[in-house]
Structure 1
Amino acid sequence: MTELLLQVEGLKKHFPITGGVFSKQVGEVKAVDGLSFSVKKGETLGIVGESGCGKSTTGRLLLQLIEPTEGKVVFEDKDVTSLSNQEIRKLRREMQMVFQDPFASLNPRHTVEKILEEPLIVHGIGTKEERKKKVREILEVVGLSSYHAKRYPHQFSGGQRQRIGIARALMTKPKLIIADEPVSALDVSIQSQVLNLLEDLQNEFQLTYIFISHDLGVVRHISDRVGVMYLGHMVELADSEALYQKPLHPYTEALLSAVPVPDPDFKREQIVLQGDLPSPSNPPAGCPFHSRCGKCMDICKTTRPQFKEVEAGHYVACHLYE
């Protein structure tokens, strides 16, 4: 059995809504509302869903960049949610993140060398000369040259900046990298280059990825397993091929029906979801998807379905399979 690197149990994040003169809490936004999943060493878990479903918040919760309202995140038998700030800081050496916007995530006043050297300084790794040598080596690994170290972020293209972001994540030799929409801000021709780079790095450094994206085509290309999120909930989780060949949840079916296929003769019925995505501050009772689901039953309106295994390795939260 493949060893687990990360386990998530009942993870929740509710942001308070305040109002009035005294800023009293008048409600809460349930950005993440009870996630449970695991990640095996060396695999890539893709997380997909519409904008606002909570996937980026999930990534930040896993790294403790924001504090969860409830739930556990266990990384290599350590409960991350119970650690002190100092212990979390040490743990981040093994858990890194690649952000969506490569320009916003890089300090424009620092050279690439200083940006890449900073994680080593924070974690007390190496001497000054060793750090500079490591910077040059990592730049070569991600497809840039050592002379790029003296340049500033604005002197690079979007694809090159994202390579710098990936290089920064690699500096501390992490075991887990959370990539939050790492190619969505890039030109399509550059996306494939960055995806291929991520796959090469995974093989070279034995990395584990959590790959967050709204693009199902990209996720299929890179992921071993895929989890589908809707309104703060995980509604389906399965091996990549199983999920794309035989989706079980009506929401997943609708998402996949909208994915373009590069074949002009291919005909497929597109499932059009009715209505808008409900507000996470006022989610519907029962199944969170029932207000837009064409297969909605009476039980869906009152009872939330359990997220459980209905086929080998295929998990789904839907009353159709109970």
Structure 2
Amino acid sequence: MTTAQTLLKVEGLKKHYPIHGGIWGRRVGEVRAVDDVSFSVRTGETLGIVGESGCGKSTTGRAILRLEEPTAGDIRFEGTSLLSLGVEAMRRMRRELQMVFQDPFASLNPRKTAGAIIEEPLRVHGIGDANERKQQVKELLQVVGLDSYHAERYPHQFSGGQRQRIGIARALAVRPKLIVADEPVSALDVSIQSQVLNLLEDLQESFDLTYLFIAHDLSVVRHISDRVGVMYLGRMVELADRDELYNNPIHPYTQALLSAVPVPDPDAKRERIILKGDVPSPRNPPAGCAFHTRCPHVMDICRKVRPEFTDQGGGHFAACHLTG
């Protein structure tokens, strides 16, 4: 990346869900879905966030947009703290921040046509009159690779890939600066995934977009991202430029994830790192390093002291005692 301007800065983000039990429904615990996550996103870049299911990556994306209200931390967009904004101010800010959801069918209203779905954010934000909005809808459909007559069809009349294109068009309607893409291709056929990824890359250049791209497929993330962050049990454990992270992973969890990525060369040899045990419950995470229960290099300090998420050199961040 050539630009160094920070568009989004997340500091100490936490999202805990209370657990209630007993006859009186008292609070008996909490699920720490996101537990002290910090990172920044530069203007024009794509930051990928990866990790196993349940690691908190989707909750992180939703908390940034305040679709889930954070428990603690700060989220700054162009220097403005999003958590300080009232309801009306946050509604206006959503013109700059949009989301593409994982399930393209569940995220579209089945009772509305594609045109009405794409037009809705324009109406909500008072952009243009009726004729101008309809013209913009036609243009947006063409931008995402659909024909203008598709505006009259309903979501069930489209394929999965086409529905995701409608979701992307809806996100683009208000010309946002940042799009949080929450596993936007995981529900699609492999043959369609590459088409949607290429579309996202083309749109990024045409609309000057910045992406926070959330996924569990490391191959997909490597294709589209400039930098990659790895999450485990609600925490960021490693963050680096794409090639640096894939060629020189520091954290044992990242090393294990990358060892599982299929290699297209049948003659290539790669040592597979098999992690023992299961991911601990976010209701009762382990003391010290959250990964120590499965780490092949665990030390005594790992069981007691949580490692700091620090720069190991050249913008390569990691939270691991092995680097200390």
Structure 1 residue 82: Cα displacement: 1.2
For residues 114 and 20 of structure 1, what CA distance do their matches in structure 2 show? 46
Q: What amino acid maps onto 2:75 in structure 1?
A: V
For residues 53 and 87 of structure 1, what CA distance do their matches in structure 2 show? 31
For residues 242 and 23 of structure 1, what CA distance do their matches in structure 2 show? 49
Q: Does 1:28 align with 2:30?
A: yes
Q: Does 1:92 align with 2:94?
A: yes
Task: Determine the structure 2 residue equivalent to 1:56.
Answer: 58
Structure 1 residue 21: Cα displacement: 1.3
The unaligned stretches of length 5 or more in structure 1 are none
Deviation readout 1:137-182 (Å, 9 max, x if unpaired): 0000000000000000000000000000000000000000000000
SS of match in other structure, 2:192 = helix
For residues 174 and 167 of structure 1, what CA distance do their matches in structure 2 show? 11
Q: Does 1:134 align with 2:163?
A: no
Task: Determine the structure 1 residue equivalent to 2:235.
Answer: 233
Task: Determine the structure 2 residue equivalent to 1:19.
Answer: 21
Q: 2:291 aligns with which of 289, 299, 303?
A: 289
Structure 1 residue 240: Cα displacement: 0.2
Runs of 4+ off more than 2 Å = none
SS of match in other structure, 1:65 = coil
Structure 1 residue 316: Cα displacement: 0.2
Q: Root-mean-square deviation (CA), in Å?
A: 0.5
Deviation readout 1:84-105 (Å, 9 max, x if unpaired): 0111111011000000000000
For residues 301 and 206 of structure 1, what CA distance do their matches in structure 2 show? 45
- The 5-angstrom pairing of residues 166-245 of structure 1 reads 166-245=168-247
For residues 170 and 23 of structure 2, what CA distance do their matches in structure 1 show? 44
Task: Determine the structure 2 residue equivalent to 1:143.
Answer: 145
SS of match in other structure, 1:305 = coil
Task: Determine the structure 1 residue equivalent to 2:49.
Answer: 47
Task: Determine the structure 2 residue equivalent to 1:308.
Answer: 310
For residues 270 and 154 of structure 1, what CA distance do their matches in structure 2 show? 42
Q: What amino acid maps onto 2:148 in structure 1?
A: S
Aligned length: 322
Structure 1 residue 274: Cα displacement: 0.4
SS of match in other structure, 1:164 = helix
For residues 240 and 319 of structure 2, what CA distance do their matches in structure 1 show? 12
Task: Determine the structure 2 residue equivalent to 1:164.
Answer: 166
Q: What amino acid maps onto 2:286 in structure 1?
A: P
The unaligned stretches of length 5 or more in structure 2 are none
Structure 1 residue 22: Cα displacement: 1.1
Task: Determine the structure 1 residue equivalent to 2:117.
Answer: 115
Q: Does 1:6 align with 2:1?
A: no
For residues 256 and 240 of structure 1, what CA distance do their matches in structure 2 show? 12
TM-score by length of 2: 0.99
Q: What amino acid maps onto 2:99 in structure 1?
A: M
For residues 143 and 257 of structure 1, what CA distance do their matches in structure 2 show? 36
For residues 82 and 24 of structure 1, what CA distance do their matches in structure 2 show? 29
For residues 66 and 156 of structure 1, what CA distance do their matches in structure 2 show? 29
Structure 1 residue 106: Cα displacement: 0.3
Identical columns (%): 70
